[in-house]
Amino acid sequence: MAKRWTAPAPGPIDGWSFDEVDVPAPGAGEVTIRVRAAGINPADAKHVAHARPGARFPVPIGYELSGEVIAVGPDARGGSGEVSVGDEVVAFRVQGAYATEITVAACDVFAKPARLSHPEAANLLLAGTTAAEMIQVTRAVEGDTVLLHAASGAVGVSLLQQARDLGIRVIGTVNPDAEDSAERVRRYGGLPVAYGDGLRGRVEDVAGDAPIVAAWDAVGTDEAFDVSLALVAERDRIVTIVDPERAKSEGVLWIAGARPESARFRDIARARVLELAASGALEVPVARTYPLADAIEAVRFVMEGHPGGKVALLP
Ligand SMILES: NC(=O)c1ccc[n+]([C@@H]2O[C@H](COP(=O)([O-])OP(=O)(O)OC[C@H]3O[C@@H](n4cnc5c(N)ncnc54)[C@H](OP(=O)(O)O)[C@@H]3O)[C@@H](O)[C@H]2O)c1
């Protein structure tokens, strides 16, 4: 028997249950993976906190993982080609990564970049493909200066590295009281500025003569919106991944993995993000790991909002 976390009903994470389940043998086009690490994202908790249109409970938790293929169904072809028993792989987007074993569609399974550990690889693709879409929808290109809110977070750090690869200059907001956040932003090529009162002036000082042509918002605070709106001339070059209501009222962009156009873009972007990681251009800093059984404690730590890197669950 395998073990797996599910949300039995909409509500807070304390209601999740950790149960024994039978994992079905892989059918046509499927593979079974022994999970070595499951990635944790804020969406894991947010998406089951309330009843959402179309959501059917119980919901198995976790969208991404890294592990080893233990069975291959007929006609199963992985996202990066042939897939065989024993291969080390990542899988995204799946439902139920917080598990010891899982059977998933082979097209969502890719070769794990060898230079990443399982906890790193398990956390690469959700943040990485979100970041890729934020760059694409704001039309940011080489030579641009862009403002990034929540630069030290998972999406922020992926944005910094993908922007560096493209020659985009990024000014990134960080916790004024946490030197490690500023240090992380510098390490990945960004120019850190402290968020809080006076943010606009500090960003302008760092930008110098360069116009800020776009803004990437990974926090959704009023401050982030206000400063982006004050500094970026074109509203369709501001994107938030957090607050759809304010995005709508201000006429700025909002993207989310559940939207069909975002899902299509991100499915395609997986290959490029994996390539960047394989080349060493994209790292995934991991702050902590927890045993799979301690998933509630681990998710609570992430949801406090300052994890200092990614967090993985180890079966
Ligand atoms: N729509 C989508 O497709 C999508 C995809 C992925 C994530 N998201 C959402 O995007 C957000 C970020 O996700 P993540 O995985 O990057 O989270 P994360 O790794 O937990 O990072 C959170 C970040 O927020 C920063 N932060 C906290 N309070 C802040 C404030 N008042 N002002 C500015 N920054 C602040 C923290 O920086 P310090 O530690 O320096 O304070 C930290 O860097 C979450 O709300 C998540 O649900 C949406």
Structural domains in the chain plus CATH codes: 2-124+284-314 (3.90.180.10), 127-254 (3.40.50.720)
Atom 21 of ligand 1, nearest CA residue = 153
Contact in structure between 108 and 94 (CB atoms under 8 Å): yes
Q: What is the per-residue pLDDT for 283?
A: 98
The ligand 1 atom at the shortest distance from the C-alpha of residue 306 is: 39
Task: List phi, psi (to 5°) of 132.
Answer: -60, -40
Token pair for 191: 């120019």
What is the rounded distance in angstroms from the CA atom of residue 313 to the CA atom of residue 42?
14
Q: Is 219 in the pocket of ligand 1 (CB under 6 A)?
A: yes
Token pair for 158: 């992926």
State the DSSP string of 104-131: EEGGGEEEPPTTS-HHHHTTSHHHHHHH
Give, for all 315 residues of the chain, the pLDDT tens digit.
999 999 999 999 999 999 999 999 999 999 999 999 999 999 999 999 998 888 899 999 999 999 999 999 999 999 999 999 999 999 999 999 999 999 999 999 999 999 999 999 999 999 999 999 999 999 999 999 999 999 999 999 999 999 999 999 999 999 999 999 999 999 999 999 999 999 999 999 999 999 999 999 999 999 999 999 999 999 999 999 999 999 999 999 999 999 999 999 999 999 999 999 999 999 999 999 999 999 999 999 999 999 999 999 999
Atom 46 of ligand 1, nearest CA residue = 42
92-106 CB burial, b ≥16 within 10 A, e <16: bbbebbbbbbbbbbb
Q: Is 182 in the pocket of ligand 1 (CB under 6 A)?
A: no
